[in-house]
Amino acid sequence: MQNTLSQAEFVTLGQLISATARQAPQRPALIDGDQTMSYAQLDELSRRVAASLMRDGSSVGAAAAICAANSAAYVALFVGAVRAGVAAVPLPVTATADVLSRMLRDSGARHLFADAGSPLQAQHAAAAGAALIRIGDDSDELAAWLAPAADPASLPKLTGQEPFNIIYSSGTTGVPKGIVQPHLMRWLHVRRGTWQQYGPDAVAIIATPLYSNTTLVSLFAALGNGSTVVLMRKFDTTRYLELAQRHRVTHSMLVPIQYQRLLDHPDFDAYDLSSFQMKFSTGAPFPATLKAQVLRRWPGGVMETYGLTEGGISTVLAAAEHPDKLHTVGMPAPGCTIRIVGPDGEDLPRGKPGEVLGHTLATMTGYHNRPELTGEVFWNSPDGLRYLRSGDVGYFDEDGFLVLCGRIKEMINSGGFNIYPGDLEAVLLAHPAVKEAAVLGVPSRQWGETPVAFVAVDEAAGVQPEALKQWTNEQLGKTQRLAAVLFVPSLPRNPAGKVLKPSLREQWSQSSEALD
C-alpha cells in the first residue's frame, strides 16, 4: 500500500531554529528543571558548538559522540554538531563501558561529551582517539572549550544526504550496528510534525532518553516547528504528571509501558491534563486494551507509529478516529509504500501474513562500516524501488490497516505449524488481570517448539497461572495453545520499552518447568 508525501525544498534543522530565533527570540526552546533556554540562546549556543568542532578540524562527515543524561546542553551539542555537518552519536548511558567503547571506536568520533553519570572515562576516550569534554553542572570544561558563535554563512551547505546522526542498536556481544540517518530523513520527520499539530503554541515533554530514536523523532519535530520542549532527566510518573500540569503540555511521546505506569498512578485522574492535544507511541507493541484506556482517561488524541530506527517503514494509527482498529498499527504514513511479501518475494493478498517491507525517502543511508549487513536489509523490487526489510510479520486487513504478528526470528514452529507470539500476547492482554505479557518458543521433545508465556498480573485479581493458561487456550486454535504460563513481577525491558526476550529465555532455562 502507498501513501504520498509532496516534495518540498530541503531545509536544515539549524536553519529552522535560526528562523524561530529571529521571529521569536525569547520563546522558550528548552525547559530543563529550573533553567529555560530561549530559541535565541539555543541558536547561539549551537552555532558556538559548530564553530568549536570546525576549529578542531571536524568537517562534514566527521562524528561527535554524546554520552550523558538528558539536558539542555545535550540538545545544544546535538544541534551544534549537525549544524557543522558532523554526525551526532548519542550513546546509551545504560550500556557497559566495554560496549560503549566499541561503539565509540566504531563511530570514529573525534569528540566525546560525557557527564558524571557516563560509564566512559578518559581512558576510554583516549583509546578511541577522541577528545573528552566533560559536561554537566559539576564541570566547566564545556564553557572553556566553546569558541565564539559561527556566522551562519561560515557553516557548510548541506544537501540532505550527509549523515545527521549514528544511532547504535542494542547489543551485548560484538559491535552493535550503527544506523546512519541522513539529514533528509530528519527533515521529513520535522515536516510530519506539522500534521501532528506541533507549532509555536505547542509544548512537548521529553520523558525518554535522548539516545533513543523514539525520543529524537519527537524532539526534532518540536524544535523544527518552533515548539517548546520540557526535558525530563529521568522518567518518574509523579514528576511527569506534575510537569505536564504545570507547563500545560500539549504533546508527548511515550513508550507503552510508560502509559501503563502513568495510568496506574493512584492520583492520575486528579491531575489537570486538559491541555493535551496529541500523544504518541512507538518503539514497542501498544496493546489495544491499553490504547482504549488512554483514549478514555486522557484528554487529546492518541497516535501510534510503527516503524524502524532504520526508517523505510512507517504506519500511523489515529486511535480516536478508528476505535475499531486499535489492534492494528494503522495505515502507511505519508510518503511510505508498504508491501507484504512471501518467502519468494511475491506480494501476498490481504489477510495473509508475510514480511513487512517499506519504501520511503525517510530511510537510513546504511549500517556504519557494515556494508554486508546493509546489503542484506535492503530488497530491490522488480519495479526498481529499494525496500527495507523489517524482519516483522504482518498483514493488511480488509480496510488496509496493518496488523503485526511478531518477528520472523521469533516465529514459533510447533509440530509444523507457524505460531506468531503477537497473536497469543493479544489474547493474554485481553484478560482483565493481565498487565504485561510476552510469549516465546521453547524446545519441546514432542513438538520441536512450543509457546510459553511470561505474564505480569494484578495480584489483587487472584488469578493463578494454570487458570490463566486454561482461559487463554480456550480462545486459541488447537495448534496455538500455550504449554505453560509463568508469572513474573514485570517484564524486562530496555529504555525504549522493548521486551528483552533473551532475558526471558534465560529465565525459562533456569526454571523448574519441564515440557514433554
Per-residue pLDDT reduced to its tens digit, 286-332:
999 999 999 999 999 999 999 999 999 999 999 999 999 999 999 99
What's the pTM?
0.86
Domain boundaries 411-510, CATH class: alpha beta
Q: At 149, which amino acid appears?
A: A
Pairing, β 354-359 against β 337-341: antiparallel
> Which one of 3.40.50.12780, 3.40.50.300, 3.30.70.120, 3.40.50.2300 gives the CATH number of domain 236-405?
3.40.50.12780
- Model pLDDT, residue 494: 81
Cite the beta strand spans of 26-169 per DSSP E: 28-32, 35-38, 63-67, 87-90, 111-114, 131-134, 163-168
Averaged pLDDT score across all residues of the chain: 92
The string of pLDDT tens digits covering residues 49-62 is 999 999 999 999 99
Closest CA to 228 of 28, 17, 42: 28
Asked if residue 511 has pLDDT above 60, the reply is yes
Question: How is residue 476 written as a grid cell?
Answer: 486459541
User: Architecture of domain 1-234 in CATH?
Assistant: 3-Layer(aba) Sandwich (3.40)
Task: Give the least confident one: 150-164, 205-219, 319-333, 414-428.
Answer: 414-428
Q: Which parts of 129-182 fold into alpha helices (H)?
A: 141-145
pLDDT confidence tier of residue 170, bands split at 50, 70 and 90 = low
Length of the chain: 516
Asked if residue 227 has pLDDT above 50, the reply is yes
Q: Where are the domains of the chain?
A: 1-234, 236-405, 411-510
Asked if residue 5 has pLDDT above 80, the reply is no
CA distances from residue 36 to 25, 31, 33, 229, 474 in whole angstroms, order as listed:
13, 5, 8, 10, 56
- Cβ(306)–Cβ(334) under 8 Å? no
236-405 and 411-510: identical CATH topology:
no
Asked if residue 8 has pLDDT above 70, the reply is no
Give percent of the chain above pLDDT 70. Answer: 96
| Distance in angstroms (rounded) separating the CA atoms of residues 484 and 515 | 9
CA distances from residue 247 to 32, 58, 205, 240, 244 in whole angstroms, order as listed:
12, 38, 9, 11, 6
- Cβ(74)–Cβ(91) under 8 Å? no
